[in-house]
Amino acid sequence: MNKTITLEVNGTDLTFEMTPDAYNKFINEMQPTNKVAPAHSLLMRTVTDDTKDDLKDLLKKPGAALELVGSLVSEYTPDLSIIVGKSKKSPNE
């Protein structure tokens, strides 16, 4: 699912073009000891050209990449209702 997402950050609009490929690449790049680089890469890969300079300025702030990518991924991924437990009908019935 391709989705255009605009995040307002400190009064500045940043627009991102999210795609399944960009999201999957981000997830595949994540490692237990490496989270900032994949976040930075996803943001830079998906930001639109007209807001790229504003993003670069924001990414100079400590922790900005992780906060931004958290909001971006949260907006991109669907809300799923998942219930863990015994199914209502057992397979033997």
Which CATH number belongs to the domain containing residue 22 in this structure?
3.30.2220.10
Q: State the Cα–Cα distance between residues 23 and 42, nearest whole angstrom.
A: 8
Instruction: Calculate mean pLDDT across residues 50-56.
Output: 97
pLDDT in tens, 55-76: 999 999 999 999 999 999 999 9
Is residue 33 within 8 A of residue 40, CB to CB? The reply is no
From 59, 33, 62, select the one nearest 44 (Cα to Cα). Answer: 59
Q: Is residue 90 part of a domain?
A: no
Q: Is residue 17 part of a domain?
A: yes
Q: What percent of the chain has a predicted confidence (pLDDT) above 90?
A: 83
With residues binned 3-state (H G I as helix, E B as strand, rest as coil), the percentages for the chain, rounded to 5, are 45, 20, 35
Instruction: Calculate mean pLDDT across residues 8-21.
Output: 97
Task: Report whether pLDDT(92) > 90.
Answer: no
| Stated pTM of the model | 0.85
